[in-house]
C-alpha cells in the first residue's frame, strides 16, 4: 500500500468516526500538522505512529496499512517469534525463582531522525540484562545472558537424562 493510500485510509476512518484532524491529533498524542501530512500523503507515518492513530480511531492497524512487511520479516527471521517466546519463558522462570529482572540500554539510535521529535522512534542497539536477588545485583551483556540460559538448559537436561538412565537401570 502506498503512502497516498494510507493517508486516504486515515482520512476515511477519521471522517467515518466524525472526528476533525485536531480531535484525531489530540486523541493520538500527535500534532495536527502531522495528521494533515499523513492524510495528504506528504509524509509516511512510522509503524508506531500508525498504531497510535489506529487506536485513536478504534480500528486495527491492518485497516490503515498493508502489513506485508511483517510477512517478509517472518520469512527472513522464521525463528524470531520462537526466540522471543523462549526469552519470555526464561524471564518468567527467573522471576518465579525470586529474581528481579530489568534491562538497561547502553546504546541506541533514532529511527527516522528527520521526523518531528514527538514522532521519532527510539531503537535499542545494545542492552544489558540486570538480575537482582537478596540485595545482590549482576549485570549481563546479551551474549552473557544467552550463556546463562544455555547453561541452565544444559544443567536441567543433564539432570533429566541422568535420572532417565537411573530409572532405566531399575
Domain ranges for the chain: 3-69, 79-169
Whether 118 shows a pLDDT value over 80: the answer reads no
Helix, strand, or coil (residue 117):
helix
**How far apart are alpha carbons 67 and 81 in whole angstroms?**
16
Q: Are strands 136-140 and 121-133 parallel, antiparallel or unpaired?
A: antiparallel
**pLDDT tens-digit map of 44-102:** 888 889 999 999 999 888 888 766 656 677 778 788 888 888 888 888 999 999 999 99
SS3 state at 7: helix
Q: Determine the pLDDT at residue 135.
A: 96
Evaluate the CA torsion angle 107, 111, 115, 118 in order and state its sign. Answer: negative
Between 3.40.50.620, 1.10.1040.10, 3.40.47.10, 1.10.260.40, what CATH number should domain 3-69 receive? 1.10.260.40
Q: Would the pTM count as exceeding 0.75?
A: no
Amino acid at each position: 500500500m502506498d503512502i497516498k493510500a494510507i493517508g486516504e485510509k486515515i482520512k476515511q476512518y477519521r471522517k467515518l468516526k466524525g472526528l476533525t484532524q485536531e480531535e484525531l491529533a489530540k486523541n493520538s498524542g500527535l500534532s495536527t500538522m502531522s495528521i494533515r501530512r499523513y492524510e495528504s500523503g506528504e509524509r509516511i507515518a512510522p509503524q508506531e505512529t500508525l498504531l497510535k492513530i489506529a487506536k485513536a480511531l478504534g480500528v486495527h492497524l491492518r485497516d490503515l496499512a498493508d502489513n506485508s512487511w511483517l510477512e517478509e520479516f517472518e520469512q527472513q527471521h522464521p525463528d524470531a517469534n520462537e526466540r522471543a517466546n523462549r526469552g519470555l519463558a526464561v524471564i518468567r522462570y527467573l522471576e518465579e525463582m525470586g529474581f528481579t529482572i530489568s534491562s538497561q540500554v547502553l546504546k541506541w539510535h533514532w529511527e527516522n531522525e528527520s521526523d518531528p521529535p514527538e514522532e521519532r522512534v527510539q531503537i535499542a542497539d545494545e542492552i544489558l540484562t540486570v538480575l537482582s536477588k537478596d540485595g545482590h545485583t549482576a549485570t549481563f551483556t546479551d551474549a552473557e545472558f544467552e550463556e546463562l540460559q544455555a547453561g541452565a538448559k544444559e544443567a536441567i537436561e543433564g539432570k533429566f537424562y541422568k535420572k532417565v538412565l537411573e530409572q532405566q537401570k531399575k
